[in-house]
Amino acid sequence: MSTTQSVNESIGKGYAALGRLGQKRIISIGALVAVLAAFSVIVAVQHGFTLFLQRIFDGLSNGFIYAAMAMALVLIYKATTVVNFAQGEMAMFGTFIAYVFGHSLGIPTPLAIILAMLASALGAAGIERVLIRPFDPRNHLAVTIVTLGLFLILNSLAGVIWAYDNRAFPSPFPGRNRSFSVFGANLEWANLFTWLTVLAAVLLVSLLLSRTKIGLAFRSVSNSLESSELLGIHIGRTLQFGWALAAAVGTLAGTMIARTTLLEPNFMGRVLIYSFAAATLGGLDSLGGAVVAGIVIGLVQTMSGGYIGFIGSDLAPTVALVVIVGVLLVRPSGLFGSKRVERV
Min dist. Cβ of residue 163 to another protein (A): 4
Min dist. Cβ of residue 57 to another protein (A): 25
Percent helix, strand and coil across the chain, each to the nearest 5: 75, 5, 20
Min dist. Cβ of residue 42 to another protein (A): 25
Q: Do 195 and 64 touch, CB atoms closer than 8 A?
A: yes
Q: Do 187 and 181 touch, CB atoms closer than 8 A?
A: yes
Question: Which of residues 164 and 183 has its CB atom nearest to another protein in the complex?
Answer: 164
Exposed/middle/buried for 325, CB within 10 Å: 0-12, 13-18, 19+?
A: exposed
Min dist. Cβ of residue 59 to another protein (A): 19
Question: Which of residues 21 and 141 has its CB atom nearest to another protein in the complex?
Answer: 141
> How distant, in Å, are the alpha carbons of 37, 124, 135, 136, 147 from that of 131?
48, 10, 8, 11, 9
Backbone phi, psi, residue 336, to 5°: -120, 5
Question: Which of residues 155 and 255 has its CB atom nearest to another protein in the complex?
Answer: 155
Q: Do 187 and 180 touch, CB atoms closer than 8 A?
A: yes
Question: Which of residues 300 and 321 has its CB atom nearest to another protein in the complex?
Answer: 321
Question: Which of residues 228 and 280 has its CB atom nearest to another protein in the complex?
Answer: 280
Min dist. Cβ of residue 199 to another protein (A): 25
Site of interaction with another protein (CB under 8 A):
77, 81-83, 85, 131, 134-135, 141-142, 144-146, 148-157, 159-165, 265, 269, 273, 276-277, 279-280, 284, 314-315, 317-318, 321, 324-325, 328-329, 332-334, 341-344
